[in-house]
Amino acid sequence: MSDKDVALAGFSDRESAWAQESRDLGRQLLTIYAGTSEVTPNALDTAFQRWKADDVAQRPADNVVACGLGILFGDYVIAHRGGDWRMQTDAYGTDAVVVGPAKLKLFPVASVSKRMAPDNEDIAFFEPIWASLPAAHLPDPTPPVPWWRRLLGR
């Protein structure tokens, strides 16, 4: 799939409302399962681990957890590394994505969703994902096109 097959757009009013509702639910999950309101990758890992181990029949639904913790993680990345929320539509569907500097694309809600299966034991993933992201102050790794190539169109 090429870049031309991918459409990025800002959040619509409806998507912004969904993100805010998810953010609010995520904060509640963080307080209940991690015992804190401070959003950090470590706290998000703790909340996810404890939610997954919770065998109460009335625990929050998978999609609530994926959206809530995913949106909080995306917000954390944006606050500390830069970027903004977009909706990406491609051959696989539409998903919320954080688009940041240095061509960063992060799918935080999908990152949580894919770990929901009961047999998936990858339950400490926010911190490793965070640690793998480039620092905000690093320049774009793509070398600039020399002025003379831009002038000649090469």
pLDDT for 22 beyond 70: yes
Q: What is the pLDDT of residue 117?
A: 86
Q: What is the pLDDT of residue 99?
A: 93
Q: What is the pLDDT of residue 23?
A: 98
pLDDT for 67 beyond 70: yes
| Nearest-angstrom CA–CA distance, 85 and 16 | 10
Work out the pLDDT band at 65, boundaries 50, 70, 90. Answer: very high
Q: What is the pLDDT of residue 136?
A: 65
Cα–Cα distances in angstroms (integers) from residue 29 to residues 78, 79, 115, 127, 149, in the given order: 20, 20, 17, 17, 52
Average pLDDT over residues 118-147: 76
Q: Residues 108, 73: contact at Cβ < 8 Å?
A: yes
The DSSP code for 97 is: E
pTM of the model: 0.83
**Distance, first Cα to last Cα, the chain:** 25
The mean of the pLDDT values for the chain is 88
Neighbouring C-beta atoms of residue 43, cutoff 10 Å: 22
| Nearest-angstrom CA–CA distance, 67 and 109 | 5
Average pLDDT over residues 71-88: 94
